[in-house]
């Protein structure tokens, strides 16, 4: 998975969004348990990227998530919530921080819709949602 | 078995495998070590030039007994020994690094196949087991054996130099000298041969997956069974024979003759030219293995596109035309090979007093031929990286659509996305490194060789720089080729993740459908 994420992070700008979108669509279509493992693997691999690549990668990741259908987005969010139990606390915290920072770049309406979806996903997963700083 | 000797053997074998696994993963470090040795050797060559100027100045004024002169000649003896041994060993370590990068690629490909087979077995679609051929099982060991033999050649050369300056029995100098270069040739044969056979193993795995996997995906989605075709029949056996021929020429012609030389005097230049014919043959086969890899990477995308079309009932556009740079690969390989062979044959036929005063041009001629083949290999590697990028664009979308088809959902749009200028995906900076290495190697050949012929007073000074300059140039070429393979490792590893997950997802939904 690390090489997978490195390949996506190093992709030419023109194709990066499309590649990441296709990849997370593929994950969204996976069975539940496999999806959780893929999301967990992705978060762990992203945490190992160079600091200067992390921020931009998260930005493109959120853009890709925003472009998914509501069902695909919800499936990914639920998997991310369920993956918390298997992620190291510092990795989860850093990933959450980057996600929230990326979401804040969007207009308020979109931010609210995204956070509402995330709230619902955490409720379905039975996990308390972290606060947005 | 409870015998202590057997247990010791098992632990030893396990220990060797663990050590090998650790070494293979450190191929980047190995490359750095090799490059460092070659770069340091270049500066040693510069030092030799400066030292030679001192020796010639002192000789010019008739001073051949002073401490300064004796010190300078002693320095030359040591630096000469260093320049004989270290650059070649550095190049050997670089070849080992390339070989281990190829091992990593093969491990990823095999793992992809095994993971897909394990998934397909859950729904009784596992392809039949096949035993890998001999070359696939031994190429890693050939690489390690090659560097160990080169290390022995280094020790023998050190012994030879020590005998020359009477540190040890001078009678041993002749024996050491006879075996040093043949062992070096044997090491080179195993290293370059191991690289070529590693590429053959990549072809084997890639062609199997490109032919069999798409058919299985269609069978999962539609129930339609298709015969994948005979993978073995499509394997390029002639290229394999060429690789073996190159290895045999490089290795075996020298060792038997070394034993004959213990009793009969044969001129030394014969060794190098014979070895170059074998090396040229192996490099030529490597260019063709890379062309075959390109062919199967394209076939993989074509077959996957057909699988999506048949599974989802949609139209899938054809893939892009072949890259323009690919057609230069066989052209450069053939020109380089013929150039190398011609000069090597000249060297074999006119070994002493070679072709009048133009004898010093034979070695540069062979080096230029070798560099030309490497330029072709560089174009092939660029094409492979482009194809792997295009594969990465296609795989997630292709699997998403096949999964949707299995679930009975409506599928729209082609898998992946097109790229207007595929050549824009090529890592041109890496190829620039190969060109720079080629220029440096060329500068160490014809210009210095011409100085040797045209300006006899500068003969020895030019002579001191040739070997280490060519080694630096060739070392840079190897280093950038290794960086190409390092890039390929990342893509093949990403491909493994996508294919493994994709097949598992397809199998999951197919099994779910079967159970409902």
**Between chains, do A12 and B424 touch, taking CB under 8 Å as contact?**
yes
Interface check for A12 against chain B (CB to CB < 8 A): the answer is yes
pTM: 0.88
Confidence of residue B281 (pLDDT cuts 50, 70, 90): very high
Q: What is the average pLDDT across B460-474?
A: 82
Chain A residues near residue B311 by CB distance under 8 angstroms: none
Confidence of residue B485 (pLDDT cuts 50, 70, 90): very high
Pick the range with the lowest mean pLDDT from B272-286, B382-396, B403-417: B403-417
Give the per-residue pLDDT at B332. Answer: 96
**Between chains, do A15 and B419 touch, taking CB under 8 Å as contact?**
yes
**Between chains, do B497 and A25 touch, taking CB under 8 Å as contact?**
no
Of A7, A18, A30, the CB nearest to B494: A7
Chain B residues near residue A22 by CB distance under 8 angstroms: 393, 396-397, 400, 416-417
**Between chains, do A29 and B424 touch, taking CB under 8 Å as contact?**
no
CA dist., res. A96 & res. A118, Å (int): 11
Residue in chain A closest to B494 (alpha carbons) equals A4
Chain B residues near residue A6 by CB distance under 8 angstroms: 490, 494
Give the per-residue pLDDT at B350. Answer: 67
ipTM above 0.90, yes or no: no
Q: How far is B49 from chain A (nearest CA, A)?
A: 44
pLDDT per position as a tens digit, B11-60: 656 666 666 677 777 888 889 999 999 999 888 888 888 888 888 888 88
B188 closest CA partner among B100, B97, B278, B85:
B278
Chain A residues near residue B493 by CB distance under 8 angstroms: 2-4, 7
Interface-testing mutation among A10, A21, A26, A39, with chain B (most B C-beta atoms within 10 A): A26
CA dist., res. B290 & res. B330, Å (int): 10
Report DSSP state, residue A50. -
Pick the range with the lowest mean pLDDT from A29-33, B261-265, B431-435, B469-473: B261-265
**Between chains, do A26 and B508 touch, taking CB under 8 Å as contact?**
no
CA dist., res. B338 & res. B283, Å (int): 12
**Between chains, do B400 and A12 touch, taking CB under 8 Å as contact?**
no
**Between chains, do A18 and B494 touch, taking CB under 8 Å as contact?**
no
Burial A102-121 (b: 16+ CB within 10 A, else e): bbeeeeeeeeeebeebbeeb
**Between chains, do B397 and A25 touch, taking CB under 8 Å as contact?**
yes
Helices (H) and strands (E) in chain B, counts: 14, 0
Confidence of residue B375 (pLDDT cuts 50, 70, 90): very high
Chain B residues near residue A1 by CB distance under 8 angstroms: 497
Q: How far is A4 from chain B (nearest CA, A)?
A: 4
Pick the range with the lowest mean pLDDT from A23-27, B236-240, B352-356: B352-356
Give the per-residue pLDDT at B503. Answer: 93
**Domain hosting residue B501, numbered range:** 4-515
Give the per-residue pLDDT at B78. Answer: 79
Query: Is A52 within 8 Å of A4 (Cβ atoms)?
Result: no
Confidence of residue B164 (pLDDT cuts 50, 70, 90): low
Q: How far is A131 from chain B (nearest CA, A)?
A: 33
Give the per-residue pLDDT at B10. Answer: 62
pLDDT per position as a tens digit, B428-461: 999 999 999 999 988 877 777 777 777 777 777 7
Query: Is B242 within 8 Å of B337 (Cβ atoms)?
Result: no
Chain A / chain B CB contacts < 8 angstroms? 69
CA dist., res. B138 & res. B135, Å (int): 5
Q: How far is A28 from chain B (nearest CA, A)?
A: 9
Burial class (CB in 10 A: 0-12, 13-18, 19+), B224: exposed
**Between chains, do B400 and A4 touch, taking CB under 8 Å as contact?**
no
Query: Is B239 within 8 Å of B285 (Cβ atoms)?
Result: yes
Give the per-residue pLDDT at B179. Answer: 80
pLDDT per position as a tens digit, B90-122: 999 999 999 999 999 999 999 999 999 999 999
Query: Is B305 within 8 Å of B219 (Cβ atoms)?
Result: no
**Between chains, do B497 and A26 touch, taking CB under 8 Å as contact?**
no
Pick the range with the lowest mean pLDDT from A54-68, B54-68, B209-223: B54-68
Interface check for A7 against chain B (CB to CB < 8 A): the answer is yes
Query: Counting every residue, how long is chain B?
Result: 516
Residue in chain B closest to A4 (alpha carbons) equals B494
**Between chains, do B396 and A25 touch, taking CB under 8 Å as contact?**
yes
How many domains is chain B built from? 1
CA dist., res. A45 & res. B497, Å (int): 13
Give the per-residue pLDDT at B139. Answer: 92
Query: Is B202 within 8 Å of B109 (Cβ atoms)?
Result: yes
Give the per-residue pLDDT at B167. Answer: 65
Give the per-residue pLDDT at B46. Answer: 87
Query: Is B229 within 8 Å of B287 (Cβ atoms)?
Result: no
Chain B residues near residue A31 by CB distance under 8 angstroms: 505, 508-509
Burial class (CB in 10 A: 0-12, 13-18, 19+), B65: exposed
Q: What is the average pLDDT across B150-165?
A: 80
Q: How far is B91 from chain A (nearest CA, A)?
A: 28
CA dist., res. B177 & res. B161, Å (int): 9
Q: What is the average pLDDT across A65-78?
A: 91
CA dist., res. B189 & res. B150, Å (int): 10
Q: Is B413 helix (H, G, I), strand (E, B) or coil?
A: coil
Query: Is B197 within 8 Å of B135 (Cβ atoms)?
Result: yes
Interface-testing mutation among B115, B122, B397, with chain A (most A C-beta atoms within 10 A): B397
Return the beta strands (E) in B132-243 as ranges: none
Confidence of residue B9 (pLDDT cuts 50, 70, 90): low
Mean pLDDT across chain B: 85
Pick the range with the lowest mean pLDDT from A50-54, B84-88, B435-439: B84-88
Residue B355 predicted with pLDDT over 60? no
Chain B residues near residue A34 by CB distance under 8 angstroms: 501, 504-505, 508
DSSP A66-121: HTS-HHHHHHHHHHHHHHGGGS-HHHHHHHHHHHHHHHTTS-HHHHHHHHHHHHHH
């Amino acid at each position: 998975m690390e090489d997978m994420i490195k390949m996506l992070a190093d992709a030419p700008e023109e194709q990066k969004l499309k590649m990441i979108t296709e990849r997370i669509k593929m994950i969204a279509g996976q069975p539940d348990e496999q999806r959780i493992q893929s999301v967990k693997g992705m978060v762990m691999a992203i945490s190992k990227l160079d600091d200067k690549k992390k921020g931009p990668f998260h930005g493109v990741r959120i853009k890709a998530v925003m472009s998914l259908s509501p069902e695909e987005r919800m499936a990914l969010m639920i998997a991310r919530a369920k993956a918390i139990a298997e992620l190291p606390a510092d990795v989860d915290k850093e990933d959450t921080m980057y996600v929230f920072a990326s979401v804040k770049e969007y207009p308020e309406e979109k931010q609210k819709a995204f956070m509402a979806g995330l709230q619902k996903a955490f409720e379905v997963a039975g996990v308390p949602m972290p606060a947005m700083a | 078995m409870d015998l202590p000797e057997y247990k010791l053997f098992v632990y030893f074998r396990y220990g060797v495998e663990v050590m090998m696994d650790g070494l293979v993963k450190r191929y980047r470090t190995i490359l750095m070590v090799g490059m460092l040795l070659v770069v340091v050797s270049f500066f040693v060559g510069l030092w030799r030039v400066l030292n030679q100027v001192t020796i010639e100045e002192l000789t010019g004024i008739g001073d051949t007994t002073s401490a300064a002169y004796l010190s300078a000649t002693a320095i030359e003896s040591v630096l000469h020994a260093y320049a004989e041994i270290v650059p070649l060993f550095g190049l050997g370590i670089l070849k080992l690094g390339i070989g281990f990068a190829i091992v990593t690629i093969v491990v990823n490909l095999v793992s992809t196949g095994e993971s897909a087979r394990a998934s397909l077995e859950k729904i009784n679609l596992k392809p039949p087991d096949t035993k890998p051929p001999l070359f696939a099982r031994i190429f890693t060991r050939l690489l390690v054996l090659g560097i160990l033999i080169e290390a022995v050649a280094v020790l023998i050369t050190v012994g030879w130099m020590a005998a020359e300056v009477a540190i040890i029995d001078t009678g041993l100098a002749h024996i050491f000298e006879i075996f040093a270069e043949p062992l070096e040739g044997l090491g080179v044969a195993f290293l370059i041969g191991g690289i070529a056979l590693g590429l053959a193993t990549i072809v084997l795995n890639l062609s199997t997956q490109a032919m069999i996997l798409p058919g299985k995906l269609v069978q999962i989605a539609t129930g339609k069974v298709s015969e994948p075709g005979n993978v073995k029949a499509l394997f390029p056996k002639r290229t394999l024979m060429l690789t073996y021929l190159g290895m045999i020429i490089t290795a075996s012609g020298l060792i038997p003759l070394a034993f004959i030389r213990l009793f009969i005097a044969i001129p030394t230049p014969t060794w190098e030219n014979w070895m170059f014919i074998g090396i040229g043959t192996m490099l030529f086969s490597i260019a063709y293995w890379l062309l075959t890899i390109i062919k199967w990477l394209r076939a993989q995308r074509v077959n996957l596109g057909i699988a999506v079309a048949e599974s989802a009932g949609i139209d899938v556009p054809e893939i892009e035309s072949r890259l323009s740079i690919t057609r230069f690969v066989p052209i450069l390989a053939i020109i380089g090979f013929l150039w190398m062979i011609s000069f090597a044959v000249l060297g074999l036929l006119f070994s002493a007093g070679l072709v009048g005063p133009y004898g010093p041009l034979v070695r540069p001629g062979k080096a230029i031929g070798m560099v030309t083949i490497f330029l072709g290999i560089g174009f092939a590697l660029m094409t492979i990286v482009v194809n792997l990028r295009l594969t990465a664009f296609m795989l997630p979308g292709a699997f998403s659509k096949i999964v949707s088809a299995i679930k009975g959902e409506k599928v729209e749009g082609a898998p992946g996305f097109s790229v207007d200028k595929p050549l824009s995906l090529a890592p041109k900076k890496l190829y620039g490194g190969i060109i720079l290495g080629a220029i440096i190697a060329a500068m160490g050949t014809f210009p210095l060789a011409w100085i040797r012929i045209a300006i006899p007073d500068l003969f020895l000074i030019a002579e001191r720089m040739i070997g280490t300059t060519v080694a630096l140039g060739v070392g840079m070429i190897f280093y950038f080729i290794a960086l190409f393979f390092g890039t390929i490792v990342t893509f093949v590893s990403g491909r493994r993740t996508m294919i493994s997950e994709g097949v598992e997802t397809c199998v999951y939904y197919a099994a779910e459908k079967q159970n409902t």
